[in-house]
Amino acid sequence: MKYYSTNHSIDAVDLRTAVLQGLPKDKGLYMPDDIPLIMPRFFENIQLLSFREIATSVALTLLGEDLPSNVIIDIIDNAITFDTPLIKLDDTHYVLELFHGPTLAFKDVGARFMARLMKHYIKDTDQKLTVLVATSGDTGSAVANGFLGIDGIDVIILYPSGKVSKIQEQQLTTMGENITAIEVDGSFDDCQNLVKTAFVDKALGQKMTLTSANSINIARLIPQTFYYFHAYAQLKRQGNTEPSVISIPSGNAGNLTAALIAKRMGLPVKRFIAACNSNDSLAKYLHTGELVAKPTKHTISNAMDVGNPSNLMRIQDLYSYSVEFLRQDLLSWSFDDDATRATIRDIYKTYNYIMDPHGAVGYLGTKRYEEEIDRDSVHIILETAHPAKFKDTVDAALGITVDIPSRLEQVLHKSKQSLRMPADFEAFKQYLLS
Ligand SMILES: *Cc1c(COP(=O)(O)O)cnc(C)c1O
């Protein structure tokens, strides 16, 4: 399979290039040039398969031309080490919990898979990779953790000093091994500029192989298709065979893009909902057909604070730039923080279930669908983070104290190890060269 750029001004590349390069030179995004259909008989017995077995089948279908089966199986076995259970709220509402990975967010799935695929590509060369990640808090830990302990790859995380939460900082700075955290005296934009400047610096380019491993890497999207098939399997196991409506709390729309690819591969699903917070570019695009990038607004579902969702380029390409065509599969609405807090309370009162602010935005999307479209569908809401990751917000909304899972608790007691640095490229470059 070849991977083309959505800007269509460079030649298509192989998977290896797409993964190691991350971003095409023409500033588009890589997409597979053929989305293969899953064999219909796969769905007949899917309810009997484990998440890992489902992931393996889907990966073999997508990547079977590019990688030997044993390599694919090995990557899946090492990347998919946790479950994505489907929790029943009532007969028509289910929650797909995607937070059972090491950093308690769905990004663990993509990050772990990408790290192992990169490792495969460099293991027989004498290439050493250095992954640079700028983070505003949440995504950095999943990416870095995905690479933890992987030979031949060093990860350097840059985060703005004093601008990430205590839990996030502990997650970023206590991994050790091949992960180094740099605490930058500056903003997230400063961190991102340091990374961007490093990528185009000639001296650095000669001395080391830098890669970004960021959310737009195709290697992070591919594994995110797996859990949509797993959700269907679990729904079927519970006796529901009708295609469901799946609500996806969306920011940069990577999770959504993976969902649309899964549908193209044959996943039975009625429709998707892209549930957005006050950053409503995606919702506006679906309603008006026009894409207007906006400055990012800060919200309590901050992992979705994206004013200009980059994966929309992929979605537009997948739907031949027709918003009418896209609307057949996708609806989108935006919800503010007050509605999100009220919904965290409603879900707790109605179902005794504690939802994080991102999942709550997803649930709002489901409610709106029921009010405006139809009332007799079966719904799946994606829960993208564990509520304890957003403890202050959830505790305040519910007036209770959310339990911290032990794997997060452990991180809180480790000692912070970070390198403090000014937001100055020369200092950063000297560090990289040393
Ligand atoms: C990243 C993230 C999202 C948004 O996912 P996209 O793929 O960027 O749309 C939602 N919830 C949580 C908890 C996240 O970390």
* CA atoms of 18 and 31, how far apart (whole Å): 9
How far apart are the CA of 334 and the centre of ligand 1, in A? 15
Q: What is the DSSP string of 136-188?
A: SSHHHHHHHHHHTT-TTEEEEEEEETT-S-HHHHHHHHS--TTEEEEEEES-H
Residue with tokens 């859990």: 227
Contact 87/94 with Cβ under 8 angstroms?
yes
Residue owning the nearest CA to atom 2 of ligand 1:
303
Q: C-alpha angle 150/156/162, rounded to 5°?
A: 135
- Report d(CA 326, CA 210) in Å as an integer: 36
Buried b or exposed e, range 352-374, using 16+ CB within 10 angstroms = ebbbbbbbbbbbbbbbbbbeeee
Q: Phi and psi (nearest 5°) for 320?
A: 50, 35
User: Two tokens at 45?
Assistant: 């017995």
Any idea where the domains of the chain sit in the sequence? 84-104+221-404
Asked if residues 102 and 143 have their Cβ atoms less than 8 Å apart, the reply is no
Q: Report helix, strand or coil for 210.
A: strand
CA of 360 to the centre of ligand 1 (A): 13
From 119, 120, 123, select the one nearest 131 (Cα to Cα).
119
Q: Determine contact, residues 123/115, Cβ cutoff 8 Å.
A: no
The residue whose CB lies within 8 Å of the most ligand 1 atoms, and thus the one to mutate among 97, 99, 107, 135, is: 107
Residues paired with 333 in a beta bridge: 275
Distance CA 155, CA 211 (A): 10
Residue nearest to atom 8 of ligand 1 (CA): 252
Report pTM: 0.94
Give 338-341's long-range contacts (Cβ < 8 A, gap of 24+).
339/364, 340/277, 340/299, 340/300, 340/301, 340/364, 341/300, 341/393, 341/396, 341/397
Distance 137 CA to ligand 1 centre (A): 12
CB neighbours of 299 closer than 8 A, spacing ≥ 6? 277, 278, 279, 305, 336, 337, 340, 357
* Single-letter code of the amino acid located at 77: D
Name the stretches of the chain with pLDDT < 70: none
The CA 138 to ligand 1 mean position distance, Å, reads 9
Which run of H or of E encompasses 383? strand 379-383
pLDDT tens digits for 160-177? Answer: 998 888 888 999 999 999
Q: Left if phi > 0, otherwise alpha if psi is -120 to 50, otherwise beta: which for 140?
A: alpha
Strand partners, 185: 422
DSSP state of 13: B
Which of 304, 405, 422 lies closest to 354 in space, CA to CA? Answer: 405
Question: Are 69 and 61 a contacting pair, CB within 8 Å?
Answer: no
Element (H, E) at 228: helix 226-237
Q: What's the gap in Å between 265 CA and the centre of ligand 1?
A: 22
The residue whose CB lies within 8 Å of the most ligand 1 atoms, and thus the one to mutate among 358, 383, 389, is: 358
Calculate how far, in angstroms, residue 250's C-alpha sits from the geometric centre of ligand 1: 6
Whether residue 387 contacts residue 252, with contact meaning beta carbons closer than 8 Å, is answered with: no
DSSP, collapsed to helix, strand or coil, labels residue 259 as: helix
Choosing from 29, 228, 252, 386 the residue with most ligand 1 atoms within 8 A of its CB, the one to mutate for a pocket test is 252
Between the CA of 254 and the centroid of ligand 1 the distance, in Å, is: 8
Ligand 1 pocket, Cβ-based, cut-off 6 angstroms: 105, 107, 138, 249-256, 303-304, 358, 384-385
CATH architecture for the domain at 84-104+221-404: 3-Layer(aba) Sandwich (3.40)
> Of all atoms in ligand 1, which is nearest to the CA of residue 258?
7
Token pair belonging to 326:
């896209």
Cα(251) to centroid of ligand 1, in Å? 6
DSSP-derived secondary structure letter, 101:
S
Contact 323, 289 (CB under 8 A): yes
